[in-house]
Amino acid sequence: TIKLTIDNKEVIVPEGTTILEASKSVGIKIPTLCFMKLDELHYENSPGSCRICVVEIAGNKKLMPSCKTLCAEGMVVRTHNPRVLNARRTIMELILSNHPFECLTCRKNGQCELQNVASELGIREIRYPGEKSTFSPDVSPAIVRDLDKCIMCRRCETMCNSVQSVGAISAINRGFNSIISTGFGEDIELGNCTYCGQCVAICPVGALGGKSSVDQVIDALADSSKVVVAQTAPAVRTALGKAFGMESDQVVTGKMVSALRAIGFNYVFDTDFAADLTIMEEGTELLGRLTHLIEGKADARIPLMTSCCPGWINFVEQNYPELIDNLSTAKSPQQMMGAVIKNYFAKKLNRPRKDIVVVSLMPCLAKKYECMREDMSVEGDPDVNYVLYTRELVRLIRFANVDFQSLPESDFDSPLGESTGAGTIFGATGGVMEAVVRTAYSIYTGKPAPKIDFQELRGFEGIKKATIDFDGIQIKLGIAHGLGNARKLAESILNGTSDFHAVEVMACPGGCIGGGGQPFHHGDMSVIKKRAAALYDADRQKSLRKSHENPSVQKLYADFLGTPCGPVSHRLLHTHYTN
């Protein structure tokens, strides 16, 4: 260990600890901008480029960036004397000198780390005029880039290249001319972006954001000729409350439903219902493929790979076309719900499908793209019209002058609002697989599964592997979260070093709870762990916890769909992905 003094406090830390970490361990918070440590993912972004974290080390002429400087025996560190504060202010003024002064109209206003640090440093004037850049905004179906606001922290680059292994954006040029660019400087839509939105999730400023659909939804709500139907993803309910001052691990389903009603949605349904439906389809598909495998048929296409995450679908289409037939043909729950609303619920209302506007509330940016795919529309009318990500929902709730905290709780509308705990855990990595096992076991063996909680499928390990005994047959499962882990899993399938029967992949670290549209975690992954724990808690509190026990799902099959993977299901609930 190493003993040093920071701000007159004696600190003992292991060798290899930075001054920034050592300070944090004794409650001294040094401001940072470019630094980002994603503990659970074992990744760090510390280019040391912003210099805002400088500290004074006794005997050292130069101030040193605390994120890059390791503690040494007997070091005496000052983190906030006049010299340090002056330097930090000057650094901040230089960063601001070429930053547009658009705070009041910026998408990040109130949540911007640059704004926060400037405020903490008490910046009142900027002495350096600086030259502003004038890039035109790059608008894709899911992500908007505004390079004028980029501060070259390179957090997005680390996320896109190192964590996600996508490599859609990287730094080019040097010095003042350096920018974050796509491969050929083209718009992001034309490159290999998967729209996972993880760059947006960790951008400290307003350089990266989601594409907003709030105005279109407000217009639809005001149009009396339309029936506007909401569906809410599993992960939204565990993240929304924090934006309204509640605990990040509090599940706010009932208040969320009340808020959506107050905003003016005519019906509020639960994507968890469609998650149960997905399990019926995907579970049946898995058992079909396993039967083919046992019979030695060439078309078995094992492992079955889950298809509910559009970031993962985009990744497979672009990088692993040879694995496309392994993807489940089941549409994602969001799209299944859209198809059921427009083809079944619309008939119940006796309205043509074009009168119905389906709005999804999702943690996800890629879902905005998914609902625009051609195979998700009928004669130009999409099954899901608009996707609002969680932060957009926050805005909509504020626009409607709803006091979220004091709202009463209410229930989803029937029949597409009823769900089991299996649907709820979809939002956390491993949840889809656990839900599949709970149901597929019963269908395959004719007996209930010996347990409901499959701890071996939970947790934040990058790639989880488990073997579940289906009454004599050993089913091998693989689970990856984050596209970097997904790549490793895909490679192991292709080179024959793994022998999974089924594989779940979610593009975002932690699963959808860590989606690019969720309230910002600012790199603190413990927030995502809390969200996961909250979903597993919500599952435990449900009276029904297996998808095939959902009475509304059973009724939908009896009244409309027929059997899982039958002709009606195939037409409405399945698709085929292409490259």
* CA–CA distance, 235 with 535 (Å, rounded to integer): 8
Q: Of 38, 196, 330, 535, which lies in the binding site for ligand SF4, with binding defined by CB under 6 A?
A: 196
CA distance 215 to 546: 38
Q: Is 525 in the site for ligand SF4 (CB under 6 A)?
A: no
Please state the closest distance from residue 15 (CB atom) to ligand SF4, in A.
37
Distance CA 59, CA 78 (A): 12
Residue indicated by tokens 């899993």: 489
Choosing from 220, 239, 308, 538, the residue that interacts with ligand HC1 (CB under 6 A) is 308
- Return the number of the residue (235 or 323) whose C-beta is nearest ligand HC1: 235
- Reported as type and span, the H/E element at residue 433 is helix 431-445
Residue 275: name its binding partner from ligand SF4, ligand HC1, none (Cβ under 5 to 8 Å by kind). Answer: ligand HC1
479 counts as binding ligand HC1 under rule CB under 6 A: no
Choosing among ligand SF4, ligand HC1, none, which partner's interface includes residue 314 (Cβ < 5 to 8 Å by kind)? none
130, with CB counted inside 10 A (0-12, 13-18, 19+), is middle
3-state class (DSSP) for residue 497: coil
Which one-letter DSSP state was computed for residue 55? E
Which of the choices ligand HC1, ligand SF4, none does residue 91 contact, using the CB cut-off of 5 to 8 A by kind? none
468 neighbors 428 (Cβ within 8 angstroms)? no
Partner from ligand SF4, ligand HC1, none binding residue 333, C-beta < 5-8 Å depending on class:
ligand HC1
Question: What single-letter amino acid sits at 2?
Answer: I
Position 202 contacts ligand SF4 (CB under 6 A): no
H/E/C letters for each residue in 329-393? CECCHHHHHHHHHHHHHHHHHCCCHHHEEEEEEECCCHHHHHCCCHHHEECCEECCCEEEEHHHH
367, 458, 481, 548: which one contacts ligand HC1 (CB under 6 A)?
367
Is there a contact between 34 and 155 (Cβ–Cβ < 8 Å)?
Answer: yes
Contact window for ligand HC1 (CB under 6 A) among 1-9, 328-336, 400-408, 445-453: 328-336
The correct pick among 75, 142, 243, 309 for binding ligand HC1 (CB under 6 A) is 309
* Residue list 298-327, contact with ligand SF4 (CB under 6 A): 309-311
Pick between residue 163 and residue 376 the one whose CB is nearest to ligand HC1.
376
For residue 222, the surrounding DSSP H or E stretch is helix 214-222
Amino acid identity of residue 543, one-letter, is: S
Q: Which stretch binds ligand SF4 (CB under 6 A): 162-170, 278-286, 361-369, 439-447?
A: 361-369
Nearer to ligand SF4, 17 or 424 (CB): 424
Which of 444, 446, 425, 443 is CA-nearest to residue 434? 425
Determine which residue in the list 151, 159, 506, 553 makes contact with ligand SF4, applying CB under 6 A: 506
142 near ligand HC1, rule: CB under 6 A: no
* Shortest reach from residue 426's CB to ligand SF4, in Å: 9
421 binds ligand HC1, rule: CB under 6 A: no
Q: How many residues does the chain have?
A: 579
Tell me the C-alpha distance between 409 and 400, whole Å.
17
CA-to-CA distance for 326 and 311, rounded, in angstroms? 16
Interacting residues toward ligand HC1 by CB under 6 A = 233-235, 271, 275, 308-309, 332-334, 362-364, 367, 426-427, 511-512, 515
